[in-house]
Every structure is written in structure tokens, then in C-alpha cells.
Amino acid sequence: MEINPVAIFFASIFTSNMVLSNFLGMCSFISVSKEYKTAQGLGKAVTLVMALTTIINYVVYKYVIVPFSLEYLRFIIFIMIIAGVVQIIEMVLDRYFTDLHIKLGIFLPLITVNCAILGVSLFMVIREYNFLQSFLFGLGSGLGWWLAIEALAAIRERISSSKLPKGLEGPAITFIITGIMALAFIGFSGIFVIQ
Amino acid sequence: MDILYAIAGISAISTLLSAVIVLMEKYINNYGECTIVINDNERIIKIQGGGSLLTSLSQNDIYIPSACGGKATCGLCKVQVLEGGGIMLPTEEPYLDKGDRELNMRLSCQVKVKGDMKIVVPRELFSIRAFKTEVENIEDLTYDIKLFRLKLLEPGAIEFKAGQYIQVESKPYGKIKESAIRAYSMSSIPTEKDHVELIVRLVPGGVCTTFLHEHLKLGDTLNITGPYGEFYIREGADTLVFIAGGSGLAPIKSMILDLILKNTDKKMIFFFGARSKKDLFYYEFFRELEEKHGNFTYYPALSHPDEGDDWVGDRGLITDVVSKYVPDGINKQAYLCGSPGMLKACIEVLKKMGFSDDTIFYDEF
């Protein structure tokens, strides 16, 4: 089925948001969302890495994995590529985009093990996207993840001085907020859904 | 056949990735030869850029103290970077206060050498070296304090001032899977350049003291770096008051012996505080020293002597004993080493007696 790439792009930001509807990339989503500024940095880094790794994984999948029928190894191959690409991105940023490296540098190693990144590559394969669809799906998912963590961080900063019942402090309230945010995002699914 | 394909596929992809990373490392991470000017042309080193400032300096035998080994978790490796350090990284923020930031202090483990730099390093650090040593002797001084005598293997000699300390790197043992770095004062004298002696009290649950006390054997090798520290005898004053408790005796012993060897004409008074007789060590040693040298007096004091201790010397807290024998702070310096609590109490008492901040020197554990 050919879905319009633009629809995929918007769907992956809102209706099929990686965190809020697929619950991927939760660990850094919960742990790095205490401060708005840091969350923003991580969001940008995830977007960059997601878009790049999706393209590279697409090429590798189409021209290496499929011809040699190594589909069952795609998990390990994708992970290796993600780890390698993150290393390279870090070096390139450090050399040529120093300002960006100062802002994103510390998050890059963290992203290597972010399951949302691997998730995007795997969804792309399962849903049989073409190149343009994959690229927009990767970019959109990244933006969606960024939107979600930035929104969560803004809420957490806002409630940081509020009094909470003892048992709800820290991660507990964060999970509840995430749940409410997910409910709110379901509202978008009336517009368009991709599966 | 499938298995062969799988192995070949994975190997090919990982080899390719590694090759790309190695190439990138070589061309993108290559910052060429960088010149680091230290202390306004006092020392100039040329190094291959791309590494952290901490490792680049240690490759040139300048050892900045660092307990975590470059993970930005100890905050010890601060260095003043005047030029070429770039902006402060988020990883450094927690360790640099306002004063540090105004001076352009940076964590040297986080600063990458990307070009020519100008930095300021305290001069004492130039003499810091890494040493490989061999355990020559271990001796029980009390039930929980041991003396470790280390023979320097490579390099074979150390230059230090009496009172300074070294850092010991413990090895993994039992359930402890990582090595730890801890500081211990040297009790040996600076003129004995090929040996280092440490006095270590076993701290219950302490990673490094447990290693030294229970896992280190004669003939084992031990890596140390040093010397570090600002605790040494200063010029001026004709009476020196030494106050120590427990293993804090180590640097004081080194200082006193060093002064005696230099035939000092200064008057030296040494107060040693212990709980009971079983915590007292080097008693005969200092008593003998007192007999031989008229300018040295030794006052051991027990705060809680045991029933059978049969103690005729001074009793009570070391602070009371000090104020009993030292009338005032005129023309005197005080050198203190011991627990933070003891130091705090002693400094308070000394200040009441007329000692000022620049005549009291101490090393805190």
C-alpha cells in the first residue's frame, strides 16, 4: 500500500508518536526530562540521529541484507550501524560544528542504546516503506520524540515546586503525566493513522 | 550455508564500519601537532591533537591529580586554560563554581586538544611522576594501623618535601571489581629517595585501606603517583608545634626527622593524641628522639585510657594538652594532621592562643 510520504511524516509526529503511542525510547524520555534545556538538546540529537540512521539502514537493508537474505540478522546489523553512525556523527560534529557538538555531544553516546532509533528502522522494514517514505518517517519520528520530551520537560519544570504526595514523587508522577499526554495524543488519531 | 552467510555478512559489515570509523578517526579527528604553552613559556610541549588535555599532559609526564580517571565525576583535574579551550561543556558545569569560571578553570579530562593552547599548571605538579613500586615490608603498628614500606622500581627515586602525600592505586579484589585511587601521606624522609613509607589505618568498609591491609602481600607491585600537597615546613618561626592523631602521624614523623637531619635549631613540640594505649605507636621511637635531641619534646596523650593501661602521661583531649604546654602563638607555627573533627577543634584552640591562619598548616583526611 502506497501511503503519501507527507502523511507518514505528520502521522509519525502526532498520531503514531514513538514515545506516546509505541512507548519506545522511554528510558531517556523519563530520565532526561527534568530540565527543559537538556531535554531540548536530547530531542535535537535524537532527531538528527534518527533521520540519518534510517536512511543508512534503508540503504543497507535494500542493497545488502535483502540480496543476501540476511533478514533474520537485521536487529544486530541495524544496532551495529546505529552505534557506528553515532560515533562518526560525534567526530564530525566535534570537528566541523563545534557549537552543535557542545550542545549535543554529551547526548550522542546515550542515544546509541535508545530503542526508539532501532524501532524506527525496524518499522520501516516491517511496513515496507520506500526511500522517501523511510526518510520522512525517520525525520518525523525524531521530531515527534523531540516534541514529546520537550512537552514533558516543560510540564515537569512547571510542577517542580508543587507539593506532591510522597508516593507520587519523581518517576511516578512522570509516568502519570506521560499517560495523560498519550491520551491527549490519541485525539490526533481521528485525523490520520499509519500502521 | 546460512550460517556461513550470517558470519560472513556480520563480519563484513562490522569490518566495514570499523574501517570507516578508523579512517574518520585518522582524518577528521586529526588536529595535527598542537603546541601547549604552560605557565607563560615555562614549559612548551608539542603533542598530537585529538586527545583530552589530561591524557595529553600525562603523556608528557605532567600528572594532574584525577581520581576518576577522566570520567568527569571527581572534579579534581581542574586546570586554568587561558587560550584554546573552547567553551565550558555541560559535563563540567557541576564542578566549576563562580570563582573557577572567572579564572577560566576547566576540567582537563573534558577539554579536548584541538589546537594550540595556553594553560597554567601549579609548578609542584611538574615534579609529579608515576612510580612502579614493590612492597618490601608490612608491619603492624597497632591493631588497625599498618606500616607499608615500598621500594621504588621505576623510576627508582622520588623527590619530595617532608609532609607531602602520594596517591595509591588499589587493584580489584573479591567483590570489588574496580581499582580505586586514594591519597596517603609519606612517613619516610625525603633523603631516602628510593623508598616510600606509608602509615595506613584500616577504615571499616574502605575500598583502598581494605586492599592494603588484607590483600596486599610482600613482593606485590603497587602503582603510585606523587608527590602532591602543600603540607610542608615553611620558613620563619622558631618554635614548631606538631599535632597528630592516628595515622596522621605519618607526615609529621617525616617532617620532624627531616628537620633533625638538617640540624635545625628550631624548637619542636610534638603532641600525639590517641584513645588508649593500644592506639599508641612509635612511642619508644619518639621518646628516644627526645632524649637525643634537646630541641625536640614529645607529648603523647590518651583520651580514654583502658583500665590496665597504667599510664602516667597526659590524659584528656589533645586540645587541652596543647593549651597546657604551649603558652602563646608568638613566633610559632603549627602543623596539624588528623581527622577533620580533631583538626577543627585544634584550629579553634590555636587561634584563641594567638596563632593566625598563616601560621597554622594542616592536611585533612
Handedness of CA B148, B149, B152, B157 (dihedral sign): positive
User: B314: which strand partners?
Assistant: B301
Nearest to B347 by CA among B330, B363, B365, B325: B363
Q: What's the mean pLDDT in B40-62?
A: 87
Of A41, A72, A84, the CB nearest to B20: A84
For B158-183, what is each residue's pLDDT tens digit? 989 999 999 898 888 888 887 788 88
Q: Does the structure show a pLDDT above 80 at B38?
A: yes
For A40-94, what is each residue's pLDDT tens digit? 888 888 898 999 999 999 999 999 888 888 888 889 899 999 999 888 888 888 8
Q: What's the mean pLDDT in B270-285?
A: 92
| Mean pLDDT for chain A overall | 87
Of B9, B10, B17, the CB nearest to A84: B17
Query: What is the pTM (predicted TM-score) of this model?
Result: 0.59
- What is the structure's pLDDT at A102? 77
Q: Does the structure show a pLDDT above 80 at B152?
A: yes
Which of A113-122, B22-31, B105-114 comes out lowest in average pLDDT?
B22-31
Integer Cα distance of B97 and B1 in angstroms = 62
For B301-336, what is each residue's pLDDT tens digit? 999 888 887 888 888 889 999 989 998 888 999 999
- What is the structure's pLDDT at A192? 65
Q: Does the structure show a pLDDT above 90 at A95?
A: no
Strands across the sheet with B78-83, in order?
A: B43-48, B33-38, B117-120, B78-83, B105-107
Q: Would you call A70 and B86 a contact, using CB atoms and an 8 Å cutoff? A: no
Q: Would you call A102 and B112 a contact, using CB atoms and an 8 Å cutoff? A: no
Number of A/B CB contacts below 8 angstroms equals 54
CB-based burial label for A181 (10 Å; 0-12, 13-18, 19+): middle
- What is the structure's pLDDT at A145? 94
> Which residues, including other chains, have CB under 8 Å from residue B160's CB and lie 6 or more apart?
B127, B186, B190, B226, B227
Confidence of residue B94 (pLDDT cuts 50, 70, 90): confident
> Which residues of chain B neighbour A88 with C-beta distances below 8 Å?
20-21, 24
Asked whether this complex has an ipTM greater than 0.85, the answer is no
> Which residues of chain B neighbour A65 with C-beta distances below 8 Å?
9
Integer Cα distance of B267 and B239 in angstroms = 5
> Which residues of chain B neighbour A76 with C-beta distances below 8 Å?
10
CA distance A84 to chain B (A): 6
Q: Does the structure show a pLDDT above 80 at A195?
A: no
- What is the structure's pLDDT at A136? 93
Q: List, as ranges, residues 24-83 from A with C-beta within 8 Å of B.
A: 38, 41, 60, 64-65, 68-70, 72-73, 76-77, 80-81
Q: Does the structure show a pLDDT above 70 at B284?
A: yes
Cα dihedral value A19, A20, A21, A27, nearest 10: 40
- What is the structure's pLDDT at A73? 87
- What is the structure's pLDDT at B13? 87
Residue B213, phi then psi, degrees to nearest 5: -75, -40
For A164-175, what is each residue's pLDDT tens digit? 898 888 889 999
Mutate to test the interface with B, among A95, A96, A101, A110 (most CBs of B within 10 A): A95
CA distance B14 to chain A (A): 7
- What is the structure's pLDDT at B70? 76
Angle of the A115-126 helix axis to the A74-96 helix axis, nearest 10? 130
**How much of chain B exceeds pLDDT 90, in percent?**
46
- What is the structure's pLDDT at B296? 94
Q: CA of B24: which chain A residue's CA is closest?
A: A88
> Which residues of chain B neighbour A102 with C-beta distances below 8 Å?
86-87, 89-90
Burial B172-183 (b: 16+ CB within 10 A, else e): eeeeeeebbbbb
